[in-house]
Structure 1
Amino acid sequence: MSKGYQAIYLFFCVGIAFAFWMLGYGLGLQLFYKDGRILETTITTNPFAPIQQFWLYKTSPTLQRVASGSLVPALLAGGLAAYIGLKQQSSPLGDAAFQDMASLRRGKWFRKQGHIFGRIGRNVLRTKDDRHHLIIGPTRSGKGAGYVIPNALMHHGSMVVTDLKGEVFKATAGYRRRNGSQVFLFAPGSETTNRYNPLDFVRQERGNRTTDIQNVASILVPENTVSENSVWQATAQQVMAGVISYVLESPFYKDRRNLGEVNSFFNSGVDLQALMKFIKEKEPYLSKFTMESFNAYLSLSERAAASALLDIQKAMRPFKNERIVAATNVTDMDLRAMKRRPISIYLAPNITDITLLRPLLTLFVQQTMDILTLEHDPNSLPVYFLLDEFRQLKRMDEIMTKLPYVAGYKIKLAFIIQDLKNLDEIYGETSRHSLLGNCGYQLVLGANDQATAEYASRALGKRTIRYQSESRTIELVGLPRRTKVEQIRERDLMMPQEIRQMPERKMILLVEGQRPIFGDKLRFFETQPFKSAEAFSQAHTPEVPPIEYLPVKPVPATTPEYARAGHAHEEANIPAIAAADVKPAAAPASVASAAIVHEKEPEAKASSPSASSRTVNPMALRSKPKSVKKASRAGIESSRQDVAAIENKIKSVEEALKPSAERLKESVSRKVEKLGDQSPTKRRNYLDIFSATVPDPIDIGLTTEA
Structure 2
Amino acid sequence: MSKGYKAVYLIFCAGIAFLVWTLAYGVVLGVIYKDSRILNITITENPFAPLQQVWAYASNPTLQRVTIAALLPAIASAVFAGYLGLRAHENPLGDAAFQDVMGLRRGKWFRKKGHIFGRFGRNVLRAADSRHHLIIGPTRSGKGAGYVIPNALMHEGSMIVSDLKGEIFKATAGYRKKNGSQVFLFAPGSETTNRYNPLDFVRPERGNRTTDIQNIASILVPENLGSENSVWQGLAQQVVAGIISYVLESPYYHGRRNLGEVVSFVNSGVDLQAQIKFIKEKEQNLSKYTVESFNAFLALSERAAASALLDIQNALRPFRNERIVAATEVTDMDIAAMKRRPISIYLAPNITDITILRPLLTLFVQQVMNILTLEHDPNSLPVYFLLDEFRQLKKMDEIMTKLPYVAGYNIKLAIIIQDLKNLDEIYGETSRHSLLGNCGYQLVLGANDQATAEYASRALGKRTIRYKSESRTIEILGLPRRTKVEQIRERDLMMPQEVRQMPENKMILLVEGQRPIYGDKLRFFNTQPFKAAEAYSQSHVPDVPTIEYLPHRPVPALTTEYANDGQQVVEQTILPLPSRSQMHEETPHQAVETYSPSIPAAGVTKQANNRTVNLIVKFPSTGKDKKSAIPPANIDYRIEEVEAKLKPSAERLLKAVNEKVEATSTSLRKRKSYLDIFNATVPDAENIGLMTKVTL
Shorter-chain TM band: 0.7 to 0.9
Determine if the alignment matches structure 1 residue 39 to structure 2 residue 22.
Answer: no
Give distance in 2, aligned partners of 1:258 and 1:36. Answer: 106
Give distance in 2, aligned partners of 1:48 and 1:438. Answer: 63
Q: Could you tell me which residue of structure 2 aligns to residue 497 of structure 1?
A: 497
AA aligned to 1:483 is T
Task: Map 1:230-245; keep pairs closer than 5 Å.
Answer: 230-245=230-245
Q: Aligned to 2:276, what secondary structure does the other structure show?
A: helix
Task: Map 1:177-196; keep pairs closer than 5 Å.
Answer: 177-196=177-196
AA aligned to 1:68 is I
AA aligned to 1:429 is E
Check whether the contact 2:457–2:499 (CA below 8 A) recurs between aligned residues. Answer: yes
Shift of 1:43: 4.4
Q: Aligned to 1:510, what secondary structure does the other structure show?
A: strand
Shift of 1:26: 2.5
Determine if the alignment matches structure 1 residue 68 to structure 2 residue 68.
Answer: yes
Give distance in 1, aligned partners of 2:218 and 2:119. Answer: 43
Give distance in 1, aligned partners of 2:520 and 2:596. Answer: 82
Q: Could you tell me which residue of structure 2 aligns to residue 197 of structure 1?
A: 197
Task: Map 1:399-438; keep pairs closer than 5 Å.
Answer: 399-438=399-438
Q: Could you tell me which residue of structure 1 aligns to residue 479 of structure 2?
A: 479
Shift of 1:426: 0.4
Task: Map 1:1-12; keep pairs closer than 5 Å.
Answer: 1-12=1-12
Q: Aligned to 1:466, what secondary structure does the other structure show?
A: strand
Check whether the contact 1:625–1:631 (CA below 8 A) recurs between aligned residues. Answer: no
Task: Map 1:106-505; keep pairs closer than 5 Å.
Answer: 106-505=106-505
Q: Could you tell me which residue of structure 2 aligns to residue 542 of structure 1?
A: 542
Structure-2 change in CA distance of 1:261 and 1:609 (3 Å):
closer
Shift of 1:571: 9.0
AA aligned to 1:564 is N
Structure-2 change in CA distance of 1:394 and 1:442 (3 Å):
same
Number of matched pairs: 610
Give distance in 2, aligned partners of 1:181 and 1:75. Answer: 65
Gaps of 5+ in 1: 573-593, 637-706
Check whether the contact 2:282–2:567 (CA below 8 A) recurs between aligned residues. Answer: yes
Task: Map 1:545-584; keep pairs closer than 5 Å.
Answer: 545-569=545-569
AA aligned to 1:67 is T
Structure-2 change in CA distance of 1:13 and 1:623 (3 Å):
farther
Structure-2 change in CA distance of 1:623 and 1:60 (3 Å):
farther
Structure-2 change in CA distance of 1:9 and 1:602 (3 Å):
closer
Give distance in 1, aligned partners of 2:466 and 2:515. Answer: 22
AA aligned to 1:197 is N
Q: Say which is worse superposed, 274-283 or 81-90, in terms of deviation.
A: 81-90
Give distance in 2, aligned partners of 1:487 and 1:627. Answer: 101
Give distance in 2, aligned partners of 1:379 and 1:202. Answer: 26
Give distance in 2, aligned partners of 1:375 and 1:455. Answer: 37
Q: Could you tell me which residue of structure 2 aligns to residue 680 of structure 1?
A: none
Q: Say which is worse superposed, 44-53 or 297-306, in terms of deviation.
A: 44-53
Shift of 1:239: 0.7
Q: Deviations over 1:522-548 (max 9, x none)?
A: 111111111111111111110101000
Check whether the contact 1:457–1:494 (CA below 8 A) recurs between aligned residues. Answer: yes
Shift of 1:229: 1.1
Q: Aligned to 1:541, what secondary structure does the other structure show?
A: coil
Check whether the contact 1:559–1:618 (CA below 8 A) recurs between aligned residues. Answer: no
Check whether the contact 1:185–1:346 (CA below 8 A) recurs between aligned residues. Answer: yes
Check whether the contact 1:386–1:413 (CA below 8 A) recurs between aligned residues. Answer: yes
Q: Aligned to 1:160, what secondary structure does the other structure show?
A: strand
Give distance in 2, aligned partners of 1:602 and 1:165. Answer: 50
Give distance in 2, aligned partners of 1:425 and 1:508. Answer: 24
Check whether the contact 2:560–2:631 (CA below 8 A) recurs between aligned residues. Answer: no
Shift of 1:471: 2.0
Check whether the contact 1:464–1:489 (CA below 8 A) recurs between aligned residues. Answer: yes
Check whether the contact 2:26–2:36 (CA below 8 A) recurs between aligned residues. Answer: no
AA aligned to 1:91 is N
Check whether the contact 1:145–1:523 (CA below 8 A) recurs between aligned residues. Answer: yes
Shift of 1:607: 5.2
AA aligned to 2:220 is L
Structure-2 change in CA distance of 1:80 and 1:540 (3 Å):
same
Q: Deviations over 1:584-611 (max 9, x none)?
A: xxxxxxxxxx99x9999999xx85579x
Shift of 1:90: 1.2
Shift of 1:36: 2.6
Q: Aligned to 1:12, what secondary structure does the other structure show?
A: helix
Structure-2 change in CA distance of 1:624 and 1:469 (3 Å):
farther
Check whether the contact 2:598–2:617 (CA below 8 A) recurs between aligned residues. Answer: no
Give distance in 1, aligned partners of 2:403 and 2:332. Answer: 28
Shift of 1:49: 4.1
Give distance in 1, aligned partners of 2:634 and 2:37. Answer: 129
Q: Deviations over 1:616-649 (max 9, x none)?
A: x98795699799769968999xxxxxxxxxxxxx
Give distance in 2, aligned partners of 1:537 and 1:74. Answer: 68
Q: Aligned to 1:569, what secondary structure does the other structure show?
A: coil
Shift of 1:394: 2.5
Task: Name the structure with the higher helix share.
Answer: 1
Structure-2 change in CA distance of 1:456 and 1:245 (3 Å):
same
Q: Deviations over 1:457-515 (max 9, x none)?
A: 01011111111222222335323222222221111110000000000000000011111
Structure-2 change in CA distance of 1:300 and 1:323 (3 Å):
same
Check whether the contact 1:117–1:147 (CA below 8 A) recurs between aligned residues. Answer: yes
Q: Aligned to 1:477, what secondary structure does the other structure show?
A: helix
AA aligned to 1:460 is L
Structure-2 change in CA distance of 1:33 and 1:618 (3 Å):
farther
Task: Map 1:15-34; keep pairs closer than 5 Å.
Answer: 15-34=15-34
Give distance in 1, aligned partners of 2:571 and 2:151. Answer: 57
Q: Aligned to 2:134, what secondary structure does the other structure show?
A: strand
Q: Could you tell me which residue of structure 2 aligns to residue 659 of structure 1?
A: none
Give distance in 2, aligned partners of 1:599 and 1:514. Answer: 74
Check whether the contact 1:26–1:43 (CA below 8 A) recurs between aligned residues. Answer: no
Check whether the contact 1:564–1:599 (CA below 8 A) recurs between aligned residues. Answer: no
AA aligned to 1:311 is D
Q: Could you tell me which residue of structure 1 aligns to residue 77 of structure 2?
A: 77
Q: Could you tell me which residue of structure 1 aligns to residue 522 of structure 2?
A: 522
Gaps of 5+ in 2: 573-589, 600-613, 622-627, 648-696
Check whether the contact 2:596–2:616 (CA below 8 A) recurs between aligned residues. Answer: no
Q: Could you tell me which residue of structure 1 aligns to residue 533 of structure 2?
A: 533
Structure-2 change in CA distance of 1:624 and 1:430 (3 Å):
farther
Q: Could you tell me which residue of structure 2 aligns to residue 50 of structure 1?
A: 50
Q: Aligned to 1:294, what secondary structure does the other structure show?
A: helix
Q: Aligned to 2:569, what secondary structure does the other structure show?
A: helix
Shift of 1:265: 0.4
Give distance in 1, aligned partners of 2:461 and 2:115. Answer: 25
Q: Deviations over 1:120-160 (max 9, x none)?
A: 00011111111100000000000000000011111110000
Q: CA RMSD in A?
A: 3.0
AA aligned to 2:250 is S
Q: Could you tell me which residue of structure 1 aligns to residue 670 of structure 2?
A: none
Q: Could you tell me which residue of structure 1 aligns to residue 105 of structure 2?
A: 105
AA aligned to 1:157 is G
Shift of 1:300: 1.1
Q: Could you tell me which residue of structure 2 aligns to residue 651 of structure 1?
A: none
Structure-2 change in CA distance of 1:77 and 1:602 (3 Å):
closer
Check whether the contact 1:558–1:618 (CA below 8 A) recurs between aligned residues. Answer: no
Shift of 1:65: 1.0
Q: Aligned to 2:508, what secondary structure does the other structure show?
A: strand
Q: Deviations over 1:303-359 (max 9, x none)?
A: 211111111111101101111011000101011000000000000000000011000
AA aligned to 2:149 is I
